[in-house]
Amino acid sequence: MSSPTKCASLQAYRLILYSRALHPELFRVKGRRAIDHQGYEFEAWVMPGSHVMRFQHQGESALELITDQEDGIPERGVLAALPCAGERDQEHDFTDKVRYMSTVQTEQLSEALYRATYDELVAFGHENEALMHEWTDEDGGRCASIVDTQRFRREVHAQTYHLIAQGGLVLRSQTIFEHKA
């Protein structure tokens, strides 16, 4: 890999916030984790270069999708959609029951820095038993998607990392879903 070659893929990444659940058959789900805790449900799916996280409490549903997929993405229930390029923040209150906060940051790294970042984040994912999917792109570059979650009494914190070798793309997000008792 030389200098970033696929800048368009960075521009294609979006964070989409939904007020409803989505069906897994819309995505190439490679791993799933579910939590049922203290009156809320949380579910995460990891896919190559993307993820879905759903939080539900007392009938209120909040769902985050980060993807570069352009076709086949449902429009019904979309509350917000924003590009991930650079650094973005998103907050949303779902009535008086559920609050959502997220920060997304993207970087395009040199080959050496990408490899070091990849090794560090994959080791972090294994150490924390995070939800992970690793694959090799068509050029032989190592890629990974990682969803690391921490469960608390009234909230879930999630850190996600998508590492795409072609272009040295690293997309990071930090999300909090919380319910108000």
Predicted confidence (pLDDT) per residue in 59-96, tens digit: 899 999 999 988 889 999 999 999 998 899 999 998 78
Q: Which residue has the tokens 């909040």?
A: 62
Contact between 8 and 17 (Cβ < 8 Å): no
Range list of H helices, the chain: 7-12, 111-127
**How much is the pLDDT for 168?**
95
Output phi, psi for 153, to 5 deg: -55, -45
**How much is the pLDDT for 3?**
31
CB-neighbour burial class of residue 96 (10 A; exposed 0-12, middle 13-18, buried 19+): exposed
How far apart are the C-alpha atoms of 171 and 87, rounded to whole Å? Answer: 10
Contact between 141 and 128 (Cβ < 8 Å): no
What separation, in Å, do the N-terminal and C-terminal C-alpha atoms of the chain show? 50
- Residues written for the chain: 181
Blockwise average pLDDT, block size 10, the chain, 181 residues: 42 92 92 93 96 94 93 91 91 89 96 97 98 94 97 95 95 95 72
Contact between 38 and 110 (Cβ < 8 Å): no
Amino acid at 3: S
**How much is the pLDDT for 8?**
40
**How much is the pLDDT for 9?**
66
- Whole-angstrom CA distances from 134 to 21, 48, 140, 174 are 25, 8, 12, 20
Q: What DSSP element (H or E) covers 118? A: helix 111-127
Strands 78-83 and 31-37: unpaired
